[in-house]
């Protein structure tokens, strides 16, 4: 294993020190592994808290800032943060209008956020939770009951974050967050496994000509193995799986996401195939993201996330955002 790290034990705090140094708009509590907006809570604005295992960067810390999250809790690699982090983050970002927890559907994350929501409630903070479960590949996988949460997390954070900036009440912010999740589906393909620093070896084996269809963001198994195929065929497999679960039509928001080790030139090749596929379905990518946004360490591969837009979601997607990893219009 060759990784650009100091010690296996210090990967997350070392990276958080880098995040703190790189982004003056953030305040980073390295000891407790929480990343906040430096500006603090805005009175009357609903606070947004998310978090999860590290190894998916820029998710979540890269989405803290104006128009998205107020705080992100970082767990160890591929491990949920603990309730204490979430409780501290929740208290810190409450501007009196309550706090929304955005939770990816993995058992550890769900249990810990649930406990944090209850205890925060007892301390007088109104908390609503939204569960993200957009991955159509498998049900009840290694770490999950039900569907896994992957790329749509970013869509939920962006759109709910924009709604919160308008001063909307907690119920409204939670409603739109749930609507984004309900309208979003994802499917991922791995060309290679990833290697966690602690394990020091690949999370699974793939032969030289073999790929894993429906991969999770921790290298957990997908639907099936397959021989390697041209990009357009892989994209069609992924889009068909998405379409089968939620028929696509009209205007969509599409992300072609790199899993961490895939070059950008290849993601653009995949995106061209996505656009062709949408045209066949009578749909179009009205908005898009192409790049590494929800990664799995050094895994090679990609995922596609599609969200069926409406006028409200489009307007909120277009609203100004200023975070390390997404920035426009301000």
Q: Does 26 bind its own copies (CB under 8 A)?
A: no
Minimum separation from the CB atom of position 293 to its own copies (A): 10
Q: Per CB under 8 A, which region of 113-121, 129-137, 155-163, 264-272 contacts its own copies?
A: 264-272
Instruction: Decide if 60 is catalytic.
Output: no
Distance set, CA 116 to CA 42, 48, 59, 126, 127 (Å): 22, 14, 20, 12, 9
Site string for its own copies, 80-119 (x = CB under 8 A): ----------------------------------------
Alpha-carbon span 220 to 134, nearest angstrom:
16
Minimum separation from the CB atom of position 304 to its own copies (A): 12
Instruction: Decide if 101 is catalytic.
Output: no
Q: Which of 290, 307, 309, 313 binds its own copies (CB under 8 A)?
A: 290
Q: Does 304 bind its own copies (CB under 8 A)?
A: no
Contacts of 320 (CB under 8 A, 6+ apart): 66, 67, 328, 329, 330
Which 3-state string (H, E, C) describes the chain? CCCCCCCHHHHHHHHHHHHHHHCCCEEEECCCCEEEECCCCCCCCCEEEEEEEECCCCCCHHHECECCECEEEEEEECCCCCHHHHHHHHHHHCCCCCEEEEEECCHHHHHHHHHHHHHHHHCCCCEEEEEECCECCCECCCCCCCECCCCHHHHHHHHHHHHHHCCCCHHHHHHHHHHHHHCEEEEEEECCCCECCCCCCECCCCCCCEEEECCCCCCCCCCEEEECCCHHHHHHHHHHHHHHHCCCCEEEEEEEEECECCCHHHHHHHHHHHHHHHHHCCEEEEEEEEECCCCCCCECEEEEEEEECCHHHHHHHHCCEECCCCEECC
Alpha-carbon span 82 to 267, nearest angstrom:
34
Q: Does 199 bind its own copies (CB under 8 A)?
A: no
Q: Per CB under 8 A, which region of 94-102, 114-122, 140-148, 272-280 contacts its own copies?
A: 272-280
Residue in 23, 56, 60, 101 annotated catalytic: 56
Q: Does 265 bind its own copies (CB under 8 A)?
A: yes
Q: Does 6 bind its own copies (CB under 8 A)?
A: yes
Q: Per CB under 8 A, which region of 40-48, 98-106, 155-163, 258-266 contacts its own copies?
A: 258-266
Minimum separation from the CB atom of position 309 to its own copies (A): 16
Within residues 136-195, the interface with its own copies by CB under 8 A covers 191-192
Alpha-carbon span 34 to 290, nearest angstrom:
27
Q: How many residues bind its own copies (CB under 8 A)?
A: 57
Minimum separation from the CB atom of position 170 to its own copies (A): 31
Site string for its own copies, 45-84 (x = CB under 8 A): ---------xx-xx---x----------------------
Minimum separation from the CB atom of position 296 to its own copies (A): 9
Identity of the residue, 118 or 240, whose beta carbon is nearer to its own copies in the bound complex: 240
Within residues 218-247, the interface with its own copies by CB under 8 A covers 228, 230-232, 234
What are the catalytic residues? 56, 218
Report the interface residues with its own copies, using CB under 8 A. Answer: 2-7, 11, 14-19, 21-22, 54-55, 57-58, 62, 191-192, 208-209, 211, 228, 230-232, 234, 260-273, 275, 285, 288, 290, 292, 295, 297-298, 300-302, 327-328
């Amino acid at each position: 294993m060759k990784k650009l790290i100091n010690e296996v034990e210090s990967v997350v705090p070392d990276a958080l020190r880098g995040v703190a140094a790189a982004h003056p708009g953030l305040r980073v509590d390295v000891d407790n592994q929480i990343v906040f907006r430096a500006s603090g809570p805005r009175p009357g604005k609903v606070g947004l808290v998310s978090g999860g295992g590290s190894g998916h960067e820029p998710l979540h810390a890269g989405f803290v800032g104006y128009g998205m999250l107020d705080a992100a809790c970082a767990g160890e690699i591929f491990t949920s943060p603990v309730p204490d982090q979430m409780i501290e983050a929740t208290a810190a970002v409450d501007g009196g209008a309550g706090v929304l927890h955005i939770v990816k559907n993995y058992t550890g994350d769900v249990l810990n956020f649930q406990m944090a929501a209850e205890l925060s409630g007892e301390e007088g903070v109104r908390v609503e939770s939204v569960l993200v479960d957009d991955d159509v590949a498998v049900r009840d996988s290694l770490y999950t009951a039900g569907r896994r949460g992957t790329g749509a997390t970013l869509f939920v954070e962006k759109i709910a974050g924009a709604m919160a900036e308008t001063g909307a009440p907690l119920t409204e912010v939670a409603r739109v967050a749930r609507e984004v999740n309900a309208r979003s589906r994802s499917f991922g393909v791995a060309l290679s496994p990833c290697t966690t620093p602690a394990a020091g070896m690949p999370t699974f084996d793939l032969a030289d000509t073999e790929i894993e269809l429906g991969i999770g963001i921790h290298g957990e198994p997908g639907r099936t193995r397959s021989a390697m195929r041209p990009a357009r065929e892989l994209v069609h497999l992924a889009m068909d799986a998405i379409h089968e679960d939620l028929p696509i039509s009209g205007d969509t928001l599409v992300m072609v996401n790199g899993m961490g080790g895939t070059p950008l030139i290849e993601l653009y090749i995949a995106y061209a195939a996505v656009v062709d596929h949408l045209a066949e379905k009578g749909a179009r990518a009205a908005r898009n993201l192409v790049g590494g946004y929800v990664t799995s360490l050094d895994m090679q591969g990609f995922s596609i996330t599609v969200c069926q837009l409406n006028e409200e979601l489009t307007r909120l997607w277009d609203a100004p955002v200023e975070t390390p990893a997404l920035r426009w219009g301000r």
